[in-house]
Amino acid sequence: MAQHSPYDGTGRRITKTLSNRGELDGTEQYYYDGQKQIEMRQTIDWQERVLRQYVWGTQYIDEIIRVDINGDPATDDDCLEYGTDAPYYYHRVRDSHLFLDTPSPPG
């Protein structure tokens, strides 16, 4: 496997190119709102698909609330389909910086 990952002037990864991984070869693009990553997309065979979308809170600078994961990026171009895609919610554990990642209840 080979990987190439350029970064911007503030240290954020902007793309990651993977090769020698068969079907997983492609380029991932990272989109930000300030320093917070809000979306990750992947381009395979010239088709761009959403892999993950992040929702951030407003109370703390690093308060992640939810991540939506595309369960079938080969045929689905968003993170909103029930059955294949999965929303995950982060929960703060009593005043500590530890977060638990739990799947949301169905439907």
Q: Kindly list the averaged pLDDT for each block of 10 residues, start to end, along the chain of length 107.
A: 85 88 81 93 83 90 86 75 78 64 57
Secondary structure letter of residue 11 according to DSSP: S
- Predicted local confidence at residue 63, as pLDDT: 84
Tokens of 26: 């492609």
Q: Which helix (H) or strand (E) holds 66?
A: strand 64-69
What phi and psi, each to the nearest 5 degrees, are found at residue 23? Answer: -65, -20
pLDDT at residue 89 in the model: 84
Q: Quote the number of domains for the chain.
A: 1
Spatial separation of the C-alpha atoms in residues 73 and 84, rounded to whole Å: 9
Q: Provide the whole-model pTM.
A: 0.77
Contact 18, 45 (CB under 8 A): no
Q: What is the structure's pLDDT at 26?
A: 83
The pLDDT value recorded for residue 36 is: 92
Task: Look up the domain containing 98 and give its range.
Answer: 2-103
Closest listed residue to residue 39, CA positions, set 48, 47, 18: 48
pLDDT at 97: 59
Write out the two tokens for 77.
């171009």
